[in-house]
Amino acid sequence: MSDWIDAVDENALANGENIVMDVDGTDVAIFKIDGQFYAIEDVCTHDGAEIASGRLEGDEIICPRHGARFCVKTGEVKSPPAYENIDCFPVRIENGKVQVRDSRWD
């Protein structure tokens, strides 16, 4: 099981903002939406683009390269040209810190 990694102070991000960090060798985008935090791999499953630099509309991130859409809360692909979901990561708040970990290999 991977360890929880401190990502950012709980109050450092405004709603609609994100940060990208390395979690056990994987770039993870952490989003704040309506006061909640969500983490997905920072990659478009269509062509490998960095998804966090895309435009956020509600809870969907739009890939800046070809317009594929993904749900930030679930990683689910919402429109082509992507057809595969993005991996999601567990997020928690501990002592005022947003923490994330890579649970894919647990």
Domain assignment present for residue 84? The answer is yes
Distance of alpha carbon 27 from alpha carbon 42, whole angstroms: 5
- Domain extent for 67: 5-100
Domain assignment present for residue 82? The answer is yes
Model pTM score: 0.93
Q: Residue with structure tokens 């966090």? A: 52
End-to-end CA distance of the chain: 5
pLDDT tens digits, one per residue of 45-65? 999 889 999 999 999 999 999
Domain assignment present for residue 91? The answer is yes
Domain assignment present for residue 95? The answer is yes
Res 105 pLDDT > 90: no
Q: Which are the contacts of 103, defined by CB distance < 8 A and separation ≥ 6?
A: 1, 2, 89, 90
Tally the domains of the chain: 1
The vertex-5 CA angle with 98 and 38, nearest 5°, equals 45
Domain assignment present for residue 64? The answer is yes
**pLDDT class of 24 with cuts at 50, 70, 90:** confident
CATH number, domain containing residue 9 = 2.102.10.10
**pLDDT class of 103 with cuts at 50, 70, 90:** confident
| Number of Cβ within a 10 Å radius of residue 38 | 21
